[in-house]
Amino acid sequence: MSEARAIVACPECDLLQEEAELGPRCVAQCARCGAQLFRRIPGSIDRTLAFLVGAAIFFVIANAFPVLSLEAQGLSNTATLLGTAQALYDDNERLVAILVFMTTVLLPGLEIGAMLYLLGSVRLGRVPRALSFAYRLAEAVRPWTMMQVFLIGVIVSLVKLSHMATVVAGIGVYALAGAILMVSAAVSMYEPRAFWARVRELGA
C-alpha cells in the first residue's frame, strides 16, 4: 500500500485533480464542486496550539464557575454547564441530560484535549503514541460539539427570566465565550496537511 502524490481527490465529489501551488493564506477549492480542498497557513501548528492552550484554560474556567444565577426573595440559584445537565437528569429527562452533557462538556473537552495532545506532541518533536486514535477521535467528535449553541441558550434564558427575577451572568459565561472564540480561532488556523507533514518529518 503506497500513497499517490501530487494528486488530490475532492472529499465531496471525488474528482481527481493536480495539487495547486498555494501562496500563504490561500485556499485550494475543488474545480468541480467548489469544496475546500486544503489551505496554506504559515505557522499553522504553532498558531493552532497557542489558541488551543487558551481554549483549554477558558474551558476549565467555564466548567468551574456558574454561567447564570437567579436571585429572588433573598435566595439564589445558580446554573453551571454540568449543573444544567444535572437538573435535566433530576427532572427525569435522562437521555436529554446525557445529550446536553455530551455536547457541551464531554465532547468539546475531548476535542480540545485530543488536539492539544496531537499538536503539542509534534511541537515538542515527538510522534504522539496514540496518533491515529487521537486524530480520528478529534475528527469524529467535531460535528457534535455545541458550546456556541449553548451560549445562545444562556442569552435566551437570561432575557426570558429577567422579566420575573434578577438574573446575573456569571464568570462561567464569559469564560465560555472565550473558549468558543479560542476554539474557532484554533480551527481556522488548523491545517491537517501541515500536521501530517510534521509527523512525516519526525519519521512516523
Partner 1 sequence: MSATALRSGLLLCRSCDLLCRPLDGGRDGDCPRCGEALHPRKPDSLVRAWTFFVLACILYVPANTMPALESTTLIAFTSNTILGGVRVFWEDGDYLIAAIIFAASIVIPIAKLVALGILLATAQARSPWRPRGRARLYRIVHTVGRWSMVDIYVGGLLVALVQFNTIGEVSIGPASLPFAAVVILTLFCSLSFDPRLIWDPMDEAR
Q: In the range 140-169, which residues lie near partner 1 by CB under 8 A?
A: 140, 143-144, 146, 149-150, 152-157, 159-161, 163-165, 167
Instruction: Give 65's DSSP letter.
Output: S
The pattern of x and - marking residues 52 through 71 that bind partner 1 according to CB under 8 A reads ---------------xxxxx
Strands annotated E in 43-118 = 68-72, 75-79
Helix (H) or strand (E) holding 166: strand 166-169
**Of 53-61, 121-129, 137-145, 175-183, which segment contacts partner 1 by CB under 8 A?**
137-145
Q: CB-wise, 57 or 69, nearer to partner 1?
A: 69
CB of 123 to partner 1, least distance (A): 19
Answer yes or no: are the C-beta atoms of 114 and 139 closer than 8 Å. Answer: no
Answer yes or no: are the C-beta atoms of 151 and 82 closer than 8 Å. Answer: no
Helix (H) or strand (E) holding 96: helix 94-101
Q: CB-wise, 26 or 156, nearer to partner 1?
A: 156
Rounded CA separation 130/142 (Å): 18
183 binds partner 1 (CB under 8 A): no
Rounded CA separation 173/108 (Å): 15
> Bridge partners of 168?
69
29 binds partner 1 (CB under 8 A): no
Instruction: Give 14's DSSP letter.
Output: -
Q: CB-wise, 126 or 136, nearer to partner 1?
A: 136
Residues 77-96 binding partner 1 (CB under 8 A) are: 77-79, 83-88, 91, 93, 95-96
Please work out the total of residues on this chain that contact partner 1, with binding judged by CB under 8 A. Answer: 73
124 binds partner 1 (CB under 8 A): no
113 binds partner 1 (CB under 8 A): no
The one-letter amino acid code at 23 reads G
